[in-house]
Chain A
Amino acid sequence: MNIKIINLLITGIGETFYMVVASTVISYILGIPLGVLVYATDKNGICQNSFVNRIVGLVINLVRSVPFLILLVAILPFTRAIVGTTIGSSASVVPLVVAATPFVARMVEASLKEVNHGVVEAAQAMGSTGWQIISKVLVPEAKPSLLVGMTIAFTTILGYSAMAGFVGGGGLGAIAVNYGYYRYQTKVMLITVALLVLIVQIFQEGGLKLASYIDKRIKR
């Protein structure tokens, strides 16, 4: 294998990391408040509001039901408006965030639901405000579960990012498509796939280990 391909793969790894990490971070910045909102406005939630709950829930479900490739193309004008172009790694971040945020919001909601209701009740009895319950009780108590959710979100976004390679996104996905699929270089394709598997493996294992390490419920 020549040096050119190796350099190509190294750049690909870098781009993939950039896309996936940036998308994960941004979709969490947007997804946590959204998830909290859905949780808090739910029936018997801390600030119950069925109208808001239904609207937000509907939007989340709507975006989640659109296939990623369709979404990718459908929001091209939006992507161009934000990053100025529709090709390359930065341009892939936009559709990745749009697709991942609703997914992250549901993961966050599920994690918060796992927190024992009695703890929330105790916090209410101590005179906590709604915001204090969210920031000091719910989110810290759900931390290990949120972290597990984050590893799942990360690997999902990694899968999406490879798909973005089909329509001009960067990263390992683009290499697999351009060299492996269009130029029949099976070897390159296999290597990129192996690299993707490796990245998933590392992050999945690492995330779960970290989650169980910070979880104080486990006796050590």
Chain B
Amino acid sequence: MIRLVDVSKEFKTKDTKIKAADRINLEIKDGEIFGIIGFSGAGKSTLVRCINLLERPTEGKVYLDDLELTSASKKELLKARRNIGMIFQQFNLLEQKSVIENICYPLLISGVRKKEALTRARQMLELVELTEKENSYPSQLSGGQKQRVAIARALATNPKYLLCDEATSALDPLTTRNILELLETINKKLGVTIVVITHELKVVEQICDRVAVMSNGKIEEEGKVEEIFLSPKSETGRKLVLPDSNSGAAPTRDYLRIVFDGQSSFEPVFANLISELGIKLNILGANTEDIGGKAYGQLLIERPDESNVKKVRDYLDKTKVSFEEVFVSKEVISA
């Protein structure tokens, strides 16, 4: 379990103080995939660095299981860090070392013999499906392959936790999906607790169990991904989930937001709705994705007149499809 208690981190520049993390309280349970989402500059990266003390919090306490890291000795801290793997947006591989040497590094520095380190490193390469790249150098790999090596390296010492700092932000959508699938496998198979920092809703949707929405160094809301996706309460949460009204992409009329959060993508939900109710509905926007046979995303339809709205509401309730009614006057009735 990772526990942050009243953690604050302040950066001092010449004439101002910036609070990158402001009295953060978090509890990340063993075995879950926890997301921290927010726009750039929200303080996510600082927060995740407070977990392994790459950034020492100016106030507050950080616990890893029963150990208070913030008051641990240097030796204890180094040992604890070997139990927390970390991957980065820019991969941060050792450029002058081959793939296998990169994966051996954390093992060798923790005193594992060279021969055993090699065996272990080869197992890790198998896990990330890059066996044939053993003797390649990072410069010869694609972004996705580099991140796989970084994952293998981070997991080589068999850590209980894995911190991912924007791990997929430098990758294309397909590679992102593959890396996320790999992270999910690692979570399920090896039982590694994963903390994911991202600015992409897609990432949270696809793999996280719980999520915290962060803005200006504060956590605005926290909860199960479905809950936040369905009815975001904080301003940042709404901005992340709802179409952006500033970019002109948001509907100007009242609408219904039908949310797909992992039900089967084989079911023609919208077609059924129209054919069963026999009413004409106008699609204002849609943003859906099929991830491994499950549907994620949302469908915006223009709000029909009162009597029909009731029919739609009843139908969606009956078929257990989540939705909310959005009035452009910004008043929201959650379903």
Give Cα distance in the complex from A119 to B163, angstroms: 16
- Given A118-B88, A121-B54, A126-B82, A217 and B109 contact (CB-CB distance below 8 Å): no
Known: A140-B97, A218-B139, A219-B140. A126 touches B92 (CB 8 A): no
A127 touches B109 (CB 8 A): yes
Collect the chain A residues with CB atoms within 8 Å of residue B140's CB: 219
| Contact in complex: B106, A126 (CB < 8 Å) | yes
Specify which of A122, A128, A215, A217 is in contact with B92 (CB 8 Å cutoff): A122
Q: Is B96 an interface residue (CB 8 A)?
A: yes
Q: Please tell me if B58 contacts chain A, counting CB pairs below 8 Å.
A: no
* Nearest B residue to A122, CB-CB: B92
Query: Chain A's nearest CB lies how many Å from the CB of B22?
Result: 23
Interface string of A114-155 (1 = CB under 8 A from B): 001011011111111100100011001101100000000000
Q: Tell me whether A118 and B109 are in contact (CB under 8 A).
A: no
Q: In the complex, which residues of chain A have a beta carbon less than 8 angstroms from the beta carbon of B267?
A: none
A116-B54 in contact given A127-B110, A136-B109 (Cβ < 8 Å) = no
Residues from chain A with a CB closer than 8 A to the CB of B163 are 125
Please report the C-alpha to C-alpha distance between residue A122 and residue B96 in the assembled complex, in whole angstroms.
15
A147 CB to closest chain B CB, in angstroms? 12
Contact between B96 and A217, CB atoms less than 8 A apart: yes
Contact A216-B137, Cβ < 8 Å, known A125-B86, A132-B109: yes
Q: Which residues of B contact A143 (CB under 8 A)?
A: 96
B81 in the interface (beta carbon within 8 A): yes
Within 8 Å CB of B88, what residues of A? 118, 121-122
Residues from chain B with a CB closer than 8 A to the CB of A118 are 88, 90, 92
* Interface size range on A against B: 20 to 34
Does B219 lie at the interface of the complex (its beta carbon under 8 Å from any beta carbon of A)? Answer: no
Q: Verify A216–B109 contact, CB threshold 8 A.
A: no
Q: Which residues of A contact B93 (CB under 8 A)?
A: 119, 122
* Shortest distance between the CB of A43 and any CB in chain B (Å): 13
Q: With the chains together, A119 CA to B150 CA distance in Å?
A: 11
Q: Is the CB of A124 within 8 A of B54?
A: yes
B54–chain A nearest beta-carbon distance, Å: 6
Q: Flag if B54 contacts A216 (CB, 8 Å).
A: no
Task: Report if B228 contacts A (CB, 8 A).
Answer: no
Partner of A141, one of B90, B94, B98, B139: B94
Contact flag A126-B105 (CB < 8 Å), given A118-B88, A218-B139: yes
A119:B95 contact, CB within 8 angstroms: yes
- Tell me if A127 and B95 are in contact (CB < 8 A): no
Q: A residues within 8 A CB of B84?
A: 125
Contact present for A126 and B96 (CB under 8 Å): no
A32 to B169, CA, bound (A): 37
User: B109 is contacted by which of A116, A119, A121, A128 (Cβ under 8 Å)?
Assistant: A128
- Residues of A contacting B54 in the complex (Cβ-Cβ under 8 angstroms): 121, 124-125
Q: List chain A residues, Cβ under 8 A from B147.
A: none
| A residues less than 8 Å from B96 (CB atoms) | 140-141, 143-144, 215-217
**Is B274 at the interface (CB under 8 A from chain A)?**
no
B328 adjacent to chain A (CB < 8 Å): no
Measured in the bound complex, the distance between the Cα atoms of B90 and A116 in whole Å is 10
User: Contact between A129 and B94 (Cβ–Cβ < 8 Å)?
Assistant: no
Q: Which residues of B contact A219 (CB under 8 A)?
A: 139-140
**Which residues on B are within 8 Å of A, measured CB to CB?**
52, 54, 78-82, 84-86, 88, 90, 92-98, 105-106, 108-110, 137-140, 150, 153-154, 157, 163
Which 5 A/B pairs are nearest by Cβ-Cβ distance?
A127-B81, A122-B92, A118-B92, A125-B86, A127-B82
User: What are 17 A-B interface contacts by the 8 Å CB criterion?
Assistant: A116-B90, A119-B95, A121-B92, A122-B150, A124-B54, A124-B81, A125-B85, A125-B163, A126-B82, A126-B106, A127-B80, A127-B82, A127-B109, A127-B110, A136-B109, A140-B94, A216-B98
